[in-house]
Chains A and B, each alone.
Chain A
Amino acid sequence: NAGVTQTPKFQVLKTGQSMTLQCAQDMNHEYMSWYRQDPGMGLRLIHYSVGAGITDQGEVPNGYNVSRSTTEDFPLRLLSAAPSQTSVYFCASSPRFSAGGEQFFGPGTRLTVL
Chain B
Amino acid sequence: TQLLEQSPQFLSIQEGENLTVYCNSSSVFSSLQWYRQEPGEGPVLLVTVVTGGEVKKLKRLTFQFGDARKDSSLHITAAQPGDTGLYLCAGGSGGSQGNLIFGKGTKLSVKP
Residues 29-61 of chain A, each 1 if its beta carbon lies under 8 Å from chain B, else 0: 011010100001111110010100000101000
Interface size of B by Cβ–Cβ distance < 8 Å?
23
**With A40-B104, A42-B103, A108-B40 as contacts: A102 and B88 at CB distance below 8 Å:** no
Q: Spell out A's residues near B (CB within 8 Å).
A: 4, 30-31, 33, 35, 40-45, 48, 50, 56, 58, 90, 92, 94, 96, 98-108
Q: How far is the CA of A56 from the CA of B104 in the complex (A)?
A: 23
Asked if A102 and B33 make an inter-chain contact with CB atoms under 8 angstroms apart, the answer reads yes
Chain B 22-47 interface residues, beta-carbon cutoff 8 Å to A = 30-31, 33, 40-45
**Closest residue to A48 on the B side, CB-wise?**
B99
Asked if A101 and B92 make an inter-chain contact with CB atoms under 8 angstroms apart, the answer reads yes
Selected from B31, B42, B97, B103, the residue in CB contact (under 8 A) with A90 is B42
